[in-house]
Structure 1
Amino acid sequence: MCECVIHLIGEAFFLCGCYITIVIYSLEYLVDAVAQSFYIVLIYSGIIAVVYLDADTIVVKNIDDLFKCGKFCANLKHSERLNSGVMVVEPSAELFNDMVSKVTTLYSYTGGDQGFLNTYYAGFESARVFNPEISAEVVNSKPVPEMERLSTLYNADVGLYMLANKWMVDEKELRVIHYTLGPLKPWDWWTSWLLKPVDVWQNIREQLDETLPGTGGGRNPHDEFLVIFLFLLPLFTLLFCYYRSSLQTRSICDHARQIYYKFRSGGALSYSAVTSSSINSSQQLSNGAHAKVPVFLGGVSIFFCFLAVLVALAVSGSVVPRQVKPWTGLLLMYEWTFTGFFLLFGGYLHLIYRWGKMVASQGGSSRPGSLDYDSEKGHQRQVSCDAATWYYGLGMAFLAIATPSVPCILGITALFSRLGLMVAGGLIFASFMTYASEHLAIRSFVRGLEDRDTSRTRNSCFLC
């Protein structure tokens, strides 16, 4: 006779030193799988009690006292329904055969095991509460109840925690935490930035021993190479773009010399410093150039900018492994999103520049005023990265980082408060991005108008 804890890990049950693989798609598959493997092992191996734990639970304190429970124990949720995430069952051939005979006739509100169990164990909400403190003599002197209710200590619902931003019971006495918020599971890196109780899961993960080579601290050795590759690929992509746009016309020494002279001169910016005229395109253009800007360019640019953000986010979310550490996932997400947006929207601005150059060539008019030559100062303007472009780019990057980070920096743990701050930050970010995308597109179009007669020197910034 033995007692055992069964913990569902993916599609495998760990039972007394052996694995039993059970793939559950519906109640019919559940019946077939259990009838052929689970039932045989439990009934004929002498096991007298089984503690079942969902894969999205974490044990934070000893739960041996659950083996004192009766024939069937579970936790009551929402005052009326049992939750099958943590259960104690007594293997019984008679009970199993009865369930099998009724599995196709009893109603299941979930279409799965939990709904079936709620119907099968009718009146569960009226069952007595399991008390592990009762002595063995008292327990043996009474009939074994058909079912008992477990306290919240054995099935602490994260969903209820997020509503009140605290546990409904003494946190020091918690035994099992259950992450029940739909797709927000603790092994996904992004949940750590939304749900405070995920910290418990991550802390336990980091303390795991190395059962297989490279698995210590919850690491996955198969993902290490992939993470390194995902980290380096965007960097090399940006370096390649920089090489294509700048280093083919000027050497690294020239760039280093330029930076050195700027530093010696006190960091003074060239003619392209941020001014009111460089930020507002309509004020820096002559009437002739401004008249050629299509009226729909701003609206189209705003649409494409948001589309580029959505595509970059979708690509980032699909390539970053879900089960990496929270900080690793966040870094990769930002890196891939920024790189994707840079390439997409930068390519769009380059097309707008080429469009403006083509319009100017077809018009055949004289240049309305060069942005590469300052007639008042009498010197040629350096075709370096435009400071206004840096202003817009860094502004969008700062807001993109600040939007999800502010709640964590302020120490806000309540889910709805975090989401509220993120939404507010997102609105500010969207407003700034709307303004920036429109003006960057206009600047690119006018640059094309100005450069119709020249093969423009390659720029050190892909967005300029």
Structure 2
Amino acid sequence: MPFLRAPTPTVVYLDADTIALRNLDALFLCDGLCGVMRHSERLNSGVMVLQPQAQLFSDMMSRIEQTPSYTGGDQGFLNAYFSGFAASPLFDPGRGRLLSESWARPPPGNATGGAAARVRMGRLPTEYNADLGLYVLNSNRWMVPEDELFVLHFTLSSFKPWNWWSSWIISGNMERWQALRRRLPGPDTGPSRLLVSTLAAGPWLLFALFMRRTPSLSPCLRNLSFRRGAPGMSGALALERVACMPWVILLAALTSLCLAVGFAVCLVPTQVDPMWGWMLAYEWIAVSFAALFGASLWAVYQWGFGLRQAGNNISSVEGATEAFHTSGTRRDGRLFLAASAGNLWQQTALAFGVTLGLLGILPWWSDVLGLKSFTGRLFSMGAAIAPTTLVVGHLLSSLALSWFHAGLSMVSPASPKLKHPV
């Protein structure tokens, strides 16, 4: 608390996560210690008015090791040191009187004694510390008229106005902070434009490289067909082998999505403009999810090829390959199917597109429905999770089965009829 040693007669202290909405000159009428109560008996140190005193500062420093702090920081210490603050009278600077002229009774005592017992204290009105956390929890309603607010305090955990993801909850009030930031003189302290441009172009470059490599992957998936060979594993047994695949695929998809989201959030600079932040996050989530879940599909493909090698003749049963175009006939109770590589890639692109689209719109259902409150956002997103999971689960499970049976259709490298996948 070095400001306590400053020669200024009166100091108005504002936390870094606050912004002044109106002129605060009236606060200098406080000739003691003034603050706002966030809870019924707790001083919030985000907005304070005080008169620096060397003796008070020395006394506080001598007690800081022995005085408990429920927050582990300054606010907990101040509440313990000024234990009588909750009993202080309300001080409204708008009345134009000094704090010392507003007392009708002696100041309350402090359990700590010492210099704290001689400090004049007063509680400031709510409009001098508009708590955004309480605003969000109160369905986006202030406890006083909005045009009477003096200080806006962003108290909602990590949803600070400089973090791009905060706009999901505090978009309107966050824009106030962003507008003030743009007006500040001096160089921009946010991420460089070159970094943002590079991150924006990165996913597209990776996609272009993948598309350039795709032709080398296509031959192994061209003219796929289930061919009759020597007696081997029955279709029922093949289906039994893949009965657990939907659950495995859902787990792989969930893991891929969590890793992709975590990677994107860590990669995108926190102080980037919210619009750029969401755009970059969606780009990198999409490319990361495609890479991770694509690796799962390739593993499923190799699994199918391994089973094909183990049992020279694997035929399918009805319903096991819904994604394939059927053009075969029944032989000895087995259904022989044929598929084309083009259809498989089209199905893959469609499944990924629908999946990413549904997951992308999931956080914004409240805006689609016109719900602005925090509770409305949570309930609308929660209600959309179940149908989204069902649709995405069905799409990805069907896609995995298609890749599995694509592997089943390939023959061992010893056979000259079909090539081993690259």
Q: TM-score, normalised by structure 2?
A: 0.80
Residue 105 (1) aligns with residue 105 (2): no
Residue 121 (1) aligns with residue 82 (2): yes
Q: How many residues align?
A: 377
Query: 1:122-271 alignment to 2 at 5 Å?
Result: 122-135=83-96, 146-164=120-138, 165-205=140-180, 207-212=182-187, 215=188, 220=190, 222-246=191-215
Residue 298 (1) aligns with residue 259 (2): no
- Report Cα offsets for 1:262-282 as digits up to 9, x if no partner: xxxxxxxxx99xxxxxxxxxx
- C-alpha contact (below 8 Å) 2:218/2:341 kept by paired residues: no
Q: Secondary structure at the match of 1:183?
A: coil
Counterpart Cα distance in 2 of 1:138 and 1:320:
48
Q: Secondary structure at the match of 1:94?
A: helix
- C-alpha contact (below 8 Å) 2:32/2:99 kept by paired residues: no
Unaligned ranges ≥5, structure 1: 1-33, 251-270, 273-286, 459-464
Q: Secondary structure at the match of 1:353?
A: helix
The one-letter code of the counterpart of 1:301 is I
- C-alpha contact (below 8 Å) 2:314/2:408 kept by paired residues: no
Counterpart Cα distance in 2 of 1:316 and 1:423:
22
The structure-2 alpha-carbon separation of the partners of 1:106 and 1:249, relative to structure 1 and needing over 3 Å to count, comes to: closer
- C-alpha contact (below 8 Å) 2:14/2:46 kept by paired residues: yes
Counterpart Cα distance in 2 of 1:149 and 1:410:
41
- C-alpha contact (below 8 Å) 1:383/1:457 kept by paired residues: no
Counterpart Cα distance in 2 of 1:202 and 1:288:
66
> Matched residues, percent identical?
32
**For structure 1, which segment, 128-137 or 62-71, has the greater mean C-alpha deviation from structure 2 after superposition?**
128-137
User: What is the CA RMSD across the aligned residues, in angstroms?
Assistant: 3.2
- C-alpha contact (below 8 Å) 1:360/1:449 kept by paired residues: yes
* 2:33 alignment partner in structure 1: 72
- Tell me the CA shift for residue 104 of structure 1: 2.5
* 2:335 alignment partner in structure 1: none
- C-alpha contact (below 8 Å) 1:191/1:198 kept by paired residues: no
- C-alpha contact (below 8 Å) 1:196/1:413 kept by paired residues: no
- Tell me the CA shift for residue 248 of structure 1: 8.1
Unaligned ranges ≥5, structure 2: 108-119, 225-232, 330-337, 412-416
- C-alpha contact (below 8 Å) 2:164/2:271 kept by paired residues: yes
- C-alpha contact (below 8 Å) 2:99/2:122 kept by paired residues: no
Counterpart Cα distance in 2 of 1:455 and 1:327:
48
- Tell me the CA shift for residue 52 of structure 1: 0.8
Q: TM-score, normalised by structure 1?
A: 0.73
Q: Secondary structure at the match of 2:313?
A: coil
- C-alpha contact (below 8 Å) 1:399/1:425 kept by paired residues: no
- Tell me the CA shift for residue 197 of structure 1: 4.9
- C-alpha contact (below 8 Å) 2:69/2:80 kept by paired residues: yes
Q: 2:8 aligns with which of 39, 47, 63?
A: 47
**For structure 1, which segment, 145-154 or 295-304, has the greater mean C-alpha deviation from structure 2 after superposition?**
295-304
- Tell me the CA shift for residue 175 of structure 1: 0.8
The structure-2 alpha-carbon separation of the partners of 1:169 and 1:341, relative to structure 1 and needing over 3 Å to count, comes to: same
* 2:281 alignment partner in structure 1: 333
The structure-2 alpha-carbon separation of the partners of 1:81 and 1:323, relative to structure 1 and needing over 3 Å to count, comes to: same
- C-alpha contact (below 8 Å) 1:56/1:178 kept by paired residues: yes
Counterpart Cα distance in 2 of 1:387 and 1:380:
12
